Structure 1
Amino acid sequence: MMNKLETRIVSHPTDWTPLAQQRAFRSIVDAFSYPGRIVKLETQAAHVLPIVLATLADPATLLADPCELVDAADRQRLGAKSASADQARFVVMPGSQAPDFEPALGTLDSPEKGATLILIADEIGQGSGLILSGPGIQSSTSLQVTGIDPQWWKLRRKWNSAFPLGVDVALLGEHSVVALPRTIKVAAEGGR
């Protein structure tokens, strides 16, 4: 298991090919269409973060990487503009680190300008832990995620309390992504 705060996450050259990015895009859309579903991403890199960013970010994107998880060469390839975590469209953070910022929540005229938080988890799997409910989930589903500070869930609830304003979350494991749009309710098993 890599220590997310000490190791930068590096891409594989194939992450920058159109075919790889098209496949990743379809998988990411699938993850957001089926919240809570664990979706595998194809990459030869050790982690999916670079292919996710290569797929979603471009030179017009404001990207915050306060813990410098993204390798400098990958950052240059992305061409995304650096921004503070409170202004960025995408914020990359280790899930184990509690947030010390308030992300962009969008406006009533432009709720789509709310940030997408990309949280690096230690492991993502089926099983007990979190109970997810909301649009795209029949009744509810359980998700086991390790390496996410519980403060993220408390603040996410606060940030998303004035819907349609809020943030979307993408949880990244080494080879998978789980999407939690702002419409999804997240509760710890046992009701906490």
Structure 2
Amino acid sequence: MMNELQTRIVSHPADWTPPVQQRAFRRILDAFSYPGRISELQTQAAHVLPLVLATLADPATTLADPCELVDAADLQRLGAKSASADQAQFVVMPGRKVPAVELACGTLDSPENGATLLLVADEITQGSGLVLSGPGIQSSISLQMSGVDPLWWKLRKRWNSAFPLGVDMVLLDERSVVALPRTIKVAVEGGR
């Protein structure tokens, strides 16, 4: 579980092997095909974040880690170009903290240039809290998240208000991921 005085999240050597990354890629792709579904990843590391980055990012991508969650050696191994949060393709943020950042939402000519936010939660489970609906979800799905400030959902709504522009989200806890493409609507139960 993440805490206020957290240390950087470190990978396991196996996270950098093709078989592990291929399995992770299939699970992440499955998560995007079925938004809101919790997909478990297999890693020997304490957290899935480095495996997700090792699977998605490479020297041709840009990465922002403004809160320094990722281990420096892992950042070097990734080879992704460092960028500010408003310019990066991938942005890593802790769910508990909502810094004053803006993310790239793409342009009308290139909406695919919107960022993918990797938001680190304490725990993601089925249950009340968030109600998800939209393409890829039959009716709705309810998720419960601990360690995610509710302000993130307001920011996400603002970033995705001019579809097809917007930000895709990957929520991560120690063992699993949930994908929230920009097409998915998120409602906070008991709130707006």
Q: TM-score, normalised by structure 2?
A: 0.98
Matched with 2:111 is 111
Which amino acid in the other structure matches residue 130 of structure 1? L
Which amino acid in the other structure matches residue 41 of structure 1? L
Which amino acid in the other structure matches residue 179 of structure 1? A
Runs of 4+ residues deviating >6 angstroms: none
Matched with 2:40 is 40
Matched-pair contact (CA < 8 Å) for 1:99–1:151: no
Matched with 1:75 is 75
Q: Kindly tell me: are residues 171 and 190 of structure 1, through their superposed partners in 2, closer, same or farther at Cα, counting changes over 3 Å?
A: same
Tell me how far apart the structure 2 counterparts of residues 150 and 190 of structure 1 sit (CA, whole Å). Answer: 12
Which amino acid in the other structure matches residue 165 of structure 1? L
Q: TM-score, normalised by structure 1?
A: 0.98
Is it true that 1:158 corresponds to 2:167 in the alignment?
A: no
Matched with 1:138 is 138
Tell me how far apart the structure 2 counterparts of residues 5 and 189 of structure 1 sit (CA, whole Å). Answer: 30
Tell me how far apart the structure 2 counterparts of residues 75 and 60 of structure 1 sit (CA, whole Å). Answer: 14
Which amino acid in the other structure matches residue 154 of structure 1? K
- Percent identity (aligned): 80
Deviations 1:26-55 (A, max 9, x none): 000000000000000010000000000000
Tell me how far apart the structure 1 counterparts of residues 5 and 52 of structure 2 sit (CA, whole Å). Answer: 19
Secondary structure in 2 aligned to 1:21? helix
Which amino acid in the other structure matches residue 153 of structure 1? W
Matched-pair contact (CA < 8 Å) for 1:130–1:186: yes
Secondary structure in 2 aligned to 1:187? strand
Matched with 2:29 is 29
Which amino acid in the other structure matches residue 128 of structure 2? S
Matched-pair contact (CA < 8 Å) for 1:129–1:145: yes
Offset at residue 4 of structure 1 (A)? 5.9
Tell me how far apart the structure 2 counterparts of residues 145 and 131 of structure 1 sit (CA, whole Å). Answer: 11
Matched with 2:2 is 2
Structure 1 gaps, min length 5: none
Tell me how far apart the structure 2 counterparts of residues 4 and 48 of structure 1 sit (CA, whole Å). Answer: 19
Matched with 1:174 is 174
Which amino acid in the other structure matches residue 151 of structure 1? L
Deviations 1:104-129 (A, max 9, x none): 00011111100000000000000000
Offset at residue 85 of structure 1 (A)? 0.5
